[in-house]
Every structure is written in structure tokens, then in C-alpha cells.
Amino acid sequence: MGTGNSGFSEAGLRRMRDVLARHVESGRIPGVVALVGRGSETHVEALGTMRHDGDAPMRRDTIFRMASTSKPVAMAPVMVLLDECRLRLDDPVDQWLPELADRRVLKRIDGPLDDTVPARRPITVRDLMTSTFGLGIDLTAMGSPIMNAVFEGGVFSQGAAPLPEPDEWMRRLGALPLMRQPGEHWQYHLSHDVLGVLVARVTGRPFEAFLRERVLDPLGMKDTGFHVPAGKIDRLPPSYAPDPRTGEFTVWDEAVGGQYSAPPAFQAGGGGLVSTVDDYHAYFRMLLNQGMHGTERILSRPAVQLMTTNRLTPEQEAARSALARGAVHVSFGQGQQGGWGFGMAVRTYRGDYAPVGQFGWDGGTGTSVYADPDHGLTGILLTQVGLTTPDPARLIHDFWTTVYQAIGD
């Protein structure tokens, strides 16, 4: 590894490896695969093992459950439809998603489900893309009737039970009132699953089929999808959700026979993808290249700029930042970037080693992917340990701290 304007310093990369190794040797992170890319230089570390009790070593081509880091990739097909004028940002979604027409909105976010007022306007494509359509995972409202209904009604795609097929899922979602007026308030997660259904209904094809044809195949993302085929299942580690009190390793999802071993009934854009460091590197490098992959254009330049710049109003941004700072026990320091684009966080202030303009996201299964246009930098960190304890979040934090120190110039 040379130094110079395009790449990383050897001392910096050594420190990064030492810090990753320290986390693995602590016994709390069985294994990790990390990639940093800058200019023509790519550096990969694969440390530790697939299982917490040993077993096969982590490899560069190990497949991981991406959880919420699915969101930036699952947003691309929507951008393709915008580029082709098959969708418009301010189109009401009623014609494709009649289940979301004529919404009722809770008078109070913690009130009874039947204490509602009519929505002031229809939900638009833009509301879904900015996560402001009125429903989402709201950490400030946990235990309220509406959040209980989201979890009990089988519409949360990162739970233990698999989701029903899309039409039934939309029916369940449509039975709920909105928590906020459309366009008013940033709320997490659910909008991304709705967008997958929207893409399927606009194109008349399964969400994954359109995603594969227009994004994954052109980028060579051959290990990315909504399940792991039998011939690759040995490359998928178990997913652990350590006990929050004892730190003891509990298997959340096993590879063989687990949630990702067969095609799901619902292709969840909010958190359903599996992938590898090299596949994600191809995608984020395409974003850094303003939509180009080699000589092929995947997304238009303005589409990428829309995705990767802040779309929130100052009030919405303040609410999102307050949530991240106030829920440290859940966010473990993640989510403190300020802004949100389409499908990803966008830094609007400098709160740590990363500069303003960095974009990407983290996943609850212990994944982190960001790109930085200022430095032409991509970083990807993948583990098999969920964020039920602070350990993977501390690892993610330390990874980014060392990545920025490793920049060669």
C-alpha cells in the first residue's frame, strides 16, 4: 500500500487493522470484514470466525445480512423510475397504493387508535422517499397504542416473524392510522418497505426482479439479494443478538433453514438484503461517480445528488438529531449525522472524524457503509453481531475513527 493523493497511509491501515483485531480478540465480535476504498486503491481486512465458537474464518466473500444498510441500495430502483418519468416526486401514491388513500391521523401520537382527524393531504412519492409519510418506528413513542399495533400487526420487517406477501402487508398497513400528518415529521424504516411495493406495482414486476435488472446486475452485485441460495449458504454466518444483560451470544438467525435461506414472501427494502463488501463497494462507488459504473450510467447525476443531500427541513432535522442524542442506549452514538437524503443519512454538521457531506447508513445486524465525496472515500464494515449491546456500535465507531486517520494525504 503506497501513500499519495489517492490512497491510504501504511501506518494508518496498520492502526485500523490493530483496532479491528482488538475488537475480535475481546471475544465480543466473532468476526469482521472491512473494506476501505479510495481512488483506485482498495484495502480489505477479514478477521475472526463465522461463529462465536470458532468454525470457518471470515473471508472477503462472506455474505452478511445488511439490515438497514439495505435502504440506500433499495432506493435506487425508485430513482430509476423518477429518471424515466414513470414516477414524479409530488405524485399522490393513491393510484398505485390505494391502501394509503384517505388517511386518518392520530390526534395525539400516544392516543387511542380511533381518536383521529382526516389527513390534510394525500401521501406523495416524496413523503415515502424522505421517510415523512406519517408512519414509522418512533423511539419517542414506544409502548403507545400505535407502536404496539405496528409490532403486533405484523408490519415491522425486522422482527422475528416473516412478513406476509405484499398485498396482505399493505392491507395491514392500511388498517393503521397515521402517527403524523403526511410530510410533517421524519420517522424511521416503514416507508422503505412501502417503496418496494410501489416499485413492484408501477413496474408490474417483483421488486427484486426490477432491482436486479436495473441496479444489481449492471453493477456486478452477484451476491446481493433477498435470500442466500443453497449453493452459497456456507458463506453466510449465523446472526447473533447478544443478551443485553450478560452479553451471551444468542443466535437471532441461523444460516441453514433460517430467514434468509429461501426467497421471502415480502422483499423488504427497509432491511431485507444480504450482500458482501465488494458488492456494496461497487454500489457506493457508483454514487461517488455521480451515477456512473465504468462507461455505463446506472442513475442520472441529479438523481444521485438528490439522494445524497439533505432533504429535511431544519425542524425535521432537529427532531431527528434529538432522537439520536436522546436514545443513546438504542443508537449507541449512531444516527448523529443531522440530515437525511433518500434512503440514507447525510452529514450536515461535523460531530466526529467524518466531514459534512458524508452519506450512508448503519444496520441493526452490525453493518456500516458510508461514502465521502470530499475524500473520494468508501468504507464498509460488516459483522454478524446485532446492536443489542454497545459492542458492535463501538467497533463501528472505532473503524471510522481509524479510516479517517488512514487517509494518505
At 177-200, the pLDDT tens digits run 999 999 999 999 999 999 999 999
With a cut of 70, say whether residue 286 has pLDDT above it: yes
Give the least confident one: 108-122, 151-165, 205-219.
151-165
Q: How many Å apart are CA 232 and CA 124, to the nearest integer?
A: 39
- Enumerate residues 6+ apart whose C-beta is below 8 A from 154: 161, 163, 164, 169, 172
All three cell numbers of 387, joined, read: 446492536
pLDDT score of 330? 67
Q: Which of 126-140, 144-158, 219-233, 334-348 has the highest mean pLDDT?
A: 219-233
pLDDT score of 6? 66
With a cut of 80, say whether residue 230 has pLDDT above it: yes
Q: What percent of the chain has pLDDT over 90?
A: 88
Confidence bin at 348 (pLDDT 50/70/90): very high
Report how far Cα 72 is from the mean position of its chain's Cα atoms: 6
Q: Which amino acid is at 311?
A: R
pLDDT score of 88? 98
Q: How many Å apart are CA 170 and CA 153, to the nearest integer?
A: 11
Q: What Rg value do the Cα atoms of the chain yield, rounded?
A: 20
Residue-wise pLDDT for 100-154, tens only, equals 999 999 999 999 999 999 999 999 999 999 999 999 998 888 899 999 999 998 8
DSSP 87-106: S-TT-BGGGT-GGGSS-EEE
Q: How many Å apart are CA 340 and CA 394, to the nearest integer?
A: 22
Predicted TM-score of the model (pTM): 0.96
Residue-wise pLDDT for 349-388, tens only, equals 998 899 999 999 999 999 999 999 999 999 999 999 999 9
